[in-house]
Amino acid sequence: MEKAFTVREDCELTNYMIGLTEDFHEKNPNFILRGSYGVLAARLLGFTYPEYLRYCAVNGGTLKGRTGFPHCVFKNKKDAEKICNLINKEWDRFVQSFYHKYR
């Protein structure tokens, strides 16, 4: 399975967040991401971005960014990894069914 998303520590080193892998753009040079990778994760799971945030919050996440761009962080790395694995499965399905034609 090709992984596009990974779990890493946030900038405060106290929480975990889901983000793109370090080599995402190297592996996918023709993939133009216009907007947040969080929106991409939401769309892969079939959610709007607010629905994705609620899904993360119900599954162990905490919402941040009430005055800026909202995003979700996790105290427990395993909670983030569960969601990240789901996103990567959907990414792999997307790549196999559609995106690989345009790489």
* Pairing mode of beta strands 5-9, 61-64: unpaired
At 8 the three-state DSSP class reads strand
pLDDT at 101: 65
Q: What is the pLDDT of residue 31?
A: 79
Instruction: Please tell me the total count of domains within the chain.
Output: 1
Residue 64: strand pairing partners: 71
Q: Which domain holds residue 60?
A: 5-102
**pTM of the predicted structure, to 2 decimals:** 0.88
Cβ-contact 96, 11 below 8 angstroms: no
Q: Report residues of the chain scoring pLDDT below 50.
A: none
CB 16 within 8 A of CB 73: yes
pLDDT attached to residue 88: 97
Residue corresponding to tokens 């969601």: 83
